[in-house]
Amino acid sequence: MTSIPEKAYAEQSSIQNILHFCHEFQLSKAHKKAGAYKQKGVAVMAIL
């Protein structure tokens, strides 16, 4: 059984990995070229 701090650490680690991936492959530019836009105030991570 895992504890809450372990789950929180794993979640934070996953978020950091996703953010690094987005930055590394410049997903925002790919979305823009594809014509995919988001509303102001909506996080990109919420869309993914």
Q: What is the pTM of this model?
A: 0.54
Q: Reply yes or no on whether the pLDDT at 1 is more than 60.
A: no
13 vs 43 pLDDT, higher one: 13
Cβ-based neighbours of 48, under 8 Å, separated by 6 or more = 18, 22
Q: What is the mean pLDDT of the chain?
A: 79
Q: Reply yes or no on whether the pLDDT at 3 is more than 80.
A: no
Residue spans per domain, the chain: 4-47
How far is Cα 26 from Cα 20, in angstroms, rounded to an integer?
A: 10
31 Cα distance to chain centroid: 14
- High-pLDDT (> 90) share of the chain, %: 0
Mean pLDDT of 9-38: 82
